[in-house]
Amino acid sequence: MARLIAILVGLGFVIILAYSFVVGAYTAATDDAAPTAEHEFHLHPRDAHLQSAGWTGTFDYQQVQRGYQVYKEVCSACHSLRHVAFRNLAELGYTEAEVKAEAATWQVPGINPATGEPVMRPALPTDVFPLPYANNVAAAAANNNAVPPDLSLITKARHDGGNYVYSLLTGYRDPAGYTHDGMSLNEEFPDFTTPTGLHFNPYFPNLNLAMAPPLTSAGQVTYADGTEATVDQMAQDVAAFLVWTAEPTLQKRHQTGFPVVLFLIFATVLGFLAYRNVWRNVKH
């Protein structure tokens, strides 16, 4: 008798748990989630109109060179590029002498051959771009407890990467009075605030980020080719550069891919016609 009661009690618990699970799953699937500021006001990246976009994209190497200049003079103060070596700049059209000269303008950690002590030395083409901070603790301490990400692969690590970088750099706003699709952020979410030390940017997933606007005014960089350095132009150029650092073989891949696809289509059609010719007289 006691065993029967125990079985019935256990069965009752199982039924209650199953009912709770089914009701909870149904509610989660059918009820609309409570709106949040991040959901309502987060914006998808704008089109940067980069030449590298699309299936047939190629690099505008003059633009990529300008983007490298923006990285060097603005972004490198906080962000590393540790998966790129100075010798890779030759792929952008720089000569061997220019690559050596450019590398030498950067300081990288080295060892004094006479004393064995750590020193800073001019970089060589074989060196990778140096880290701006000694470690993540120092990076966080200098950036409101946020470690600036390495930018080598940033456009592959973020959805719609090139457009994301461009939109983020040009997307800083004042949250006071900010509207989107006819909705006012202050009216819809009166409790929304941008904490001290953070900056409002609707292209960032949670709307507030630690990075202050890096591109603040036109002429912040003086381009060697004479292009007017507006904020929008600088954002486009550095986005193009970071697309290249993330996938330097993109142009070659596109140039190779289409002939391969066309050949495979041709071979498939040829194989199908051969199959029909060989087996046309065979009856099932």
Beta strands in the chain (DSSP E): 107-111, 118-122, 179-180, 183-184, 199-200, 208-209
Residue set of the binding site for heme c: 75, 78-79, 211
Find where tokens 């509207």 sit. Answer: 179
- Cα-based distances in Å from 28 to 11, 16, 17, 19, 139: 26, 18, 16, 14, 40
Neighbours of 151 (CB within 10 A): 25
Q: Which residues contact 261 (CB under 8 A, 6 or more apart)?
A: none
Q: DSSP readout, 3-37?
A: HHHHHHHHHHHHHHHHHHHHHHHHHHHHSPPPP-H
Angle made by CA atoms 165, 150, 253, in degrees to the nearest 5: 65
Rounded Cα–Cα distance for residues 157 and 153 (Å) = 6
Contact between 99 and 118 (Cβ < 8 Å):
no
Neighbours of 201 (CB within 10 A): 24
Residue set of the binding site: 75, 78-79, 211
Rounded Cα–Cα distance for residues 68 and 105 (Å) = 14
